Amino acid sequence: MDRDSLFDAMLQNELRKLNTHLPKNRKTIRTLLTETEPSTLTVGGDKAIMKKSEIEALSAELPDELRDRVKLPIVLLRRRELGPGAFALLGDEYEEYAFSKVLGDYAGTFTEFQRTRDSPTVFYKPQVSELTRRFHSLIVIGFGLSD
């Protein structure tokens, strides 16, 4: 193993330790709304509790069909290679659409969003601050490296 490979392996191990708070699994909005105490397990084995009032507020802002598609908590990975204050959403295009819509960055339909989307949406610090202010218990920030 050369020096660079050893360094990469050590860095990956440190990132894994930093990200133990990330969810092991995620649940749809509709599923979480049926739970008395909405929660999920983290990679580290802890219970991550989400505020039902925040889930209800988010649900109210989205079209009904997204409640079975958008999974929570939303994971945003800090990606330095994308630029200062840049975050990638660790999810799918339904979640990108939902949060672009909630932030007021996109007003069209999901079909139009799919058609115009040519790469994953990058969210920046002001947007992430707005999301965490409104939906604090539903957002998890992680740390990632370029592939």
Over the stretch 20-54, which tens digit does the pLDDT of each residue have?
A: 778 999 999 999 999 999 999 998 899 999 999 99
- Which two three-digit tokens encode residue 4? 């660079």
Does residue 76 surpass a pLDDT of 80? yes
Does residue 1 surpass a pLDDT of 80? no
Say what the pLDDT of residue 8 is.
64
What's the predicted TM-score (pTM) here?
Answer: 0.84
Say what the pLDDT of residue 118 is.
82
The residue ranking higher by pLDDT, 19 or 132, is 132
- Which two three-digit tokens encode residue 33? 């709304």
